[in-house]
A and B are shown apart, each in its own frame.
Chain A
Amino acid sequence: MSMRLSENDGFQILETAAIPANSTLIIGLPDVGLVGLLASSHLISTLQLEEVGSIESDRLPPIIVLHGGVPKSPIRIFARNSIAVVISETTIPSSLLRRLANSLVDFGKRKKIELMLSLGGMAIANRQDINSPQVFAALSAKSLETRLNGAAEVLEEGYIVGAYGLLLRRCAAESIPAITLLTQSYYNYPDPEAAASALTAVNKILGMKVDVAELLNRGEEIRLRSKDMMHRTHEEMTRMNKSHEYDLPPLYG
């Protein structure tokens, strides 16, 4: 197996197979309601994406994850055709998120990624009263609004705390197309329904037909399986002042 290694800001990206140029890079990190992680995991299994790389760093906690009896990095890259997905099966310390975001953007530039598409949750107080969570989009450039294809409402004002905000800002500065989809969700309960809504939006944006039925049908099992991950993610979100996202920006137009 050939392996290509690139290093940036203390993060190493090991590629074991090529990612086609002009791919869309979908990013699903642990965050509010684990929306991005659940949606990305579902994408990987439904589209049968192949593992093509991993992201490693001496700065990360010393954790590996076993899959099929094989030790792997918890942060890995999967791809097939023109879709690539980055997921993390462990919480990433908030102090490392800037470095990780920079590494992902540099990786995207090197791979001539056509669109960076981050998936996250947007906590809402009365989530249990909502049957179809709404999806919002933060864009690296206004011109990307047409790409949404009516899948999400554009966020005009507000804060984004964490890797996705940093990634979006850097992409905007470097004219790399990037969309962050934020789906209404529980704050600290795993939310497979929100993940299904996020994927429905991804389907519209990318012209795909990924079936989300399994996310809904196995919702209880997914919630329970993800409970411990959600708990650790909640602790990290508290450390990074994630609740800042729900503040109103003080400036007015």
Chain B
Amino acid sequence: MSRLDERGYPGSIHEGWNVADACIKPLYNVSVGAAEVVVTVDLPYVTSKGVKLRCPDDVLEIFAETSEKITFKALGAKHRHGEFTSYHARIRIPVPVDERKISSQLKHGVLELHIPRVK
């Protein structure tokens, strides 16, 4: 996966919607503080049970299953076909962090992750 992908959106014409993998690329934010990195991810249609995290090396990987099947048609796009059952994001973390100490919370459909920085 390219570095561009890790910023959230690939350069393809179907940015953010991977029909082949039934997967949506979510919007997210990365904020680097003195003691921790805070990542938030916008995950409508997701409950906390459906979220899985991986953080190998400097990349945070987020998988989240949607609570229902989402289709382009239901979102008002008749000219596009596809259905989605999950979100997937690869987010590059710009500073060294202790990935074993990630804490996470899903509030109002926004996943909030706190990852302590390595001193």
Q: What residues make up the interface of A, taking CB atoms closer than 8 Å to B?
A: 125, 127-129, 186-190, 193, 219-221, 223-225, 227-228, 230-231, 234
Contacts and interface: CB of A to CB of B under 8 A. Distances in A.
Nearest to B29: A188
Contacts of B107: 128-129
B29 A230 contact: no
Contacts of A223: 42, 44, 109
Given A125-B31, A188-B29, 18 more contacts: A127-B110, A128-B110, A189-B42, A193-B108, A219-B44, A219-B109, A220-B45, A221-B75, A223-B44, A224-B44, A224-B45, A224-B75, A227-B27, A227-B42, A228-B15, A231-B9, A231-B15, A231-B27
B11 to A, nearest CB: 13
19 contacts: A128-B107, A128-B108, A129-B107, A186-B42, A189-B42, A193-B108, A219-B44, A219-B109, A223-B42, A223-B44, A224-B24, A224-B45, A227-B24, A228-B15, A230-B27, A231-B8, A231-B15, A231-B16, A231-B27
B16 A228 contact: yes
A190 B40 CA distance: 14
B56 interface: no
A91 to B, nearest CB: 14
Given A223-B44, A224-B70, A231-B15, A189 B110 contact: yes
A187 B29 contact: yes
A120 B9 CA distance: 25
Contacts of A190: 42
B112 interface: yes
Interface residues of B, number: 22
Contacts of B44: 219-221, 223-224
Nearest to B67: A220
A119 B112 CA distance: 27
Interface of B: 8-9, 15-16, 24, 26-27, 29, 31, 40, 42, 44-45, 70, 74-76, 107-110, 112
A20 to B, nearest CB: 31
A189 B27 contact: yes
Contacts of B31: 125
Nearest to A187: B29
Contacts of B42: 186, 189-190, 223, 227
Contacts of A228: 15-16
Nearest to B77: A225
Contacts of B112: 128
A137 to B, nearest CB: 25
Nearest to B107: A128
Contacts of B109: 219-220, 223
Q: Which of A221, A227, A231, A234 has the most CB of B within 10 A?
A: A227
Nearest to A225: B75
Contacts of B27: 188-189, 227, 230-231, 234
A75 B65 CA distance: 36
Contacts of A187: 29
Contacts of B40: 128
A231 B16 CA distance: 10
6 tightest A-B contacts by CB? A220-B44, A189-B42, A128-B107, A223-B44, A128-B110, A224-B44
Q: Which of A128, A219, A223, A234 has the most CB of B within 10 A?
A: A128
A220 B8 CA distance: 20
Contacts of A231: 8-9, 15-16, 27
A225 B70 contact: no
